[in-house]
Amino acid sequence: MGRIGRQVFIGLLGLALAGPAAGLELFGVELESTDRDALRAAVRQAGVELIREGGDEAWFDVYDSAAVLPGSRRLYLGFVKADARFAFAEYEFAGLDASAMLAALRAKYGPPETRAGRYLSDRSYRWQRDGVEIELAPDWHNYRVRLTYVVPQSLAALNAERAALDAGGDENTPYSAY
């Protein structure tokens, strides 16, 4: 296990030993019931550096997460525009070695559902807790590992908003989409 792998493992082991919360939390905020303002405030309080805040032209916030989750590079937070509900959080890690992360997540959430990919190395791991889907998966095209937390109903609403914009929007209007 490399230096970054050990750092990730130690950081996530601390999360695992903290014990179960009332609902699945990030930054002390229950994900299934939170909104944009509450989660953004908690992220700021934790000292995570904002790179870009979502708004009219962006569907998600981007943060530098290295200070709060060793080995990670970015944290993306997405919210439904209509009512500011939390939709997803995604940590991005450089490289493709997810073994330390997987061990820590197993310690915290138990055995995952393993999903086979096209190749043996494309395997992803999923958990479901408190209305939130958690997935650890390689992103081979970008040489990254992604740890994602999703509230499915909220992500569906966010995607419906994006589709409505795509259907009726000006194709020259710049915006980012997850």
What integer pLDDT is reported at residue 156 of this predicted model?
94
For residue 2, name the pLDDT band (cuts at 50, 70, 90).
Answer: low
Q: How confident is the model at residue 169 (pLDDT cuts 50, 70, 90)?
A: low
Torsion angle defined by CA atoms of residues 125, 41, 131 and 94, in that order, rounded to the nearest 10 degrees? -10
Q: What angle do CA 104, 27, 15 make, to 5 degrees?
A: 20
Report if residue 176 sits inside a domain.
Answer: no
Going from the C-alpha of 60 to that of each of 27, 44, 51, 93, the distances in angstroms are 17, 15, 11, 18
Q: Is residue 177 part of a domain?
A: no
Measured from the Cβ of residue 4, the count of other Cβ atoms closer than 10 Å reads 16
Q: What's the confidence (pLDDT) of residue 21?
A: 47
**Short-list 8, 7, 25, 4, CA closest to 102:** 8
Q: Tell me, yes or no, whether 160 lies in a domain.
A: yes
> 76 is in which domain, residue-wise?
3-167
The predicted pLDDT at position 135 comes to 97
Note whether 15 and 7 are within 8 A (CB).
no
Q: Which has more pLDDT, 69 or 4? A: 69
7 vs 11, 37, 67, 148, CA distance in Å? 6, 30, 11, 19
Report if residue 173 sits inside a domain: no
What type of residue is 102? L
- Residue 42 identity (one-letter amino acid): A
Q: How many domains does the chain have?
A: 1
pLDDT at 17 over 60: no
- Mind listing the pLDDT tens digit for each residue in 36-63? 999 999 999 999 999 999 877 788 999 9
Question: Of the candidates 2, 7, 9, which has an alpha carbon nearest to the alpha carbon of residue 107?
Answer: 9
